[in-house]
């Protein structure tokens, strides 16, 4: 096997490990992500899994990065070409609902980041900081769209972007709970009604 083929195979193996890690961590949490479980699920040796990451913490961080890329692909990219401001923000919210409601092939346990934030919010260390950094980046992205919507007159002039994002995050955490914990059949409808109140039509 050539060095190029060997490197490509190693990359594919690493991607398989991360993909399986995302699925497991969405249900069992990042602390439930063990080398042994991944090795058994993927038909690999523990040494084979460990050789790609070195430590459990490195594996957790790689899984977080992979989950962030999957979230962006499912939630941001479908809306990226929409007009900036309210049209893009509403499109993001539609994709966000679909991510929570239907993306079971990637995140069988529901919102990966809600699980991770609850699991690590009272801890210190690199994993907690990575989760917090990702949330901050997402909040900044949403707030930028709110500001554009306000400037265009699509949201009231006095709207506080940070407050609007605070309420959006809370809404989607509540939707995840309704779907995951209560299996509420009207969860998506309730979320859409809440979004209409928060981001409903407005012209200055």
59 contacts 146 by C-beta, under 8 angstroms = no
Q: What is the average pLDDT across 192-201? A: 93
Per-residue pLDDT at 5 exceeds 80: no
> What pLDDT shows up at residue 128?
97
Task: Give the pLDDT score at 21.
Answer: 96
Average pLDDT, the chain: 94
CA 127 from centre of chain: 15
Which residue did the predictor score with more confidence, 117 or 4?
117
For 133-184, the pLDDT digits (tens) are 999 999 999 999 999 999 999 999 999 999 999 999 999 999 999 999 999 9
Residues 6+ apart with CB under 8 A from 153: 202, 203, 204
The tens digit of pLDDT for each residue in 14-44 reads: 999 999 999 999 999 999 999 999 999 999 9
Each residue's pLDDT tens digit, 128-138: 999 999 999 99
Specify the pLDDT at position 3.
60
Question: Among candidates 99, 110, 115, 96, which has minimal Cα distance to 183?
Answer: 110
pLDDT at position 6, please? 83
Give the N- to C-terminal CA distance of the chain in Å, as an integer: 66
The pLDDT value recorded for residue 4 is 59
Task: Please give the average per-residue pLDDT across 190-201, as a whole number.
Answer: 94
Element (H, E) at 80: none
Domain boundaries, the chain: 56-199
Q: What is the pLDDT of residue 204?
A: 53
Looking at residue 7, what is its pLDDT?
87
Angle at 192 (CA atoms; ends 169, 136), nearest 5 degrees: 15
Reported as a pLDDT band with limits 50, 70 and 90, residue 200 is confident
User: Which CATH superfamily is 56-199 part of?
Assistant: Tetracycline Repressor, domain 2 (1.10.357.10)
């Amino acid at each position: 096997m050539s060095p190029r083929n060997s490197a490509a195979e190693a990359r594919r193996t690493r991607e398989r490990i991360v993909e399986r890690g995302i699925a497991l961590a969405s249900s069992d949490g990042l602390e439930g992500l063990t080398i042994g479980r991944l090795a058994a699920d993927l038909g690999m040796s523990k040494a084979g899994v460990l050789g790609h990451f070195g430590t459990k913490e490195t594996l957790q961080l790689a899984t977080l990065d992979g989950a962030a890329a999957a979230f962006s692909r499912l939630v941001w990219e479908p809306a990226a070409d929409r007009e900036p401001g309210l049209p893009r923000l509403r499109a993001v919210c539609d994709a966000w609902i679909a991510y929570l409601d239907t993306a079971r092939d990637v995140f069988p346990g529901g919102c990966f980041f809600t699980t991770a934030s609850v699991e690590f919010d009272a801890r210190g260390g690199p994993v907690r900081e990575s989760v917090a950094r990702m949330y901050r980046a997402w909040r900044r992205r949403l707030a930028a769209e709110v500001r554009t919507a306000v400037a265009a007159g699509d949201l009231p002039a006095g709207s506080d972007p940070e407050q609007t994002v605070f309420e959006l995050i809370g809404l989607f955490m509540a939707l995840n709970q309704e779907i995951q914990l209560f299996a509420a059949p009207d969860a998506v409808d309730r979320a859409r009604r809440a979004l209409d109140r928060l981001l409903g039509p407005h012209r200055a």
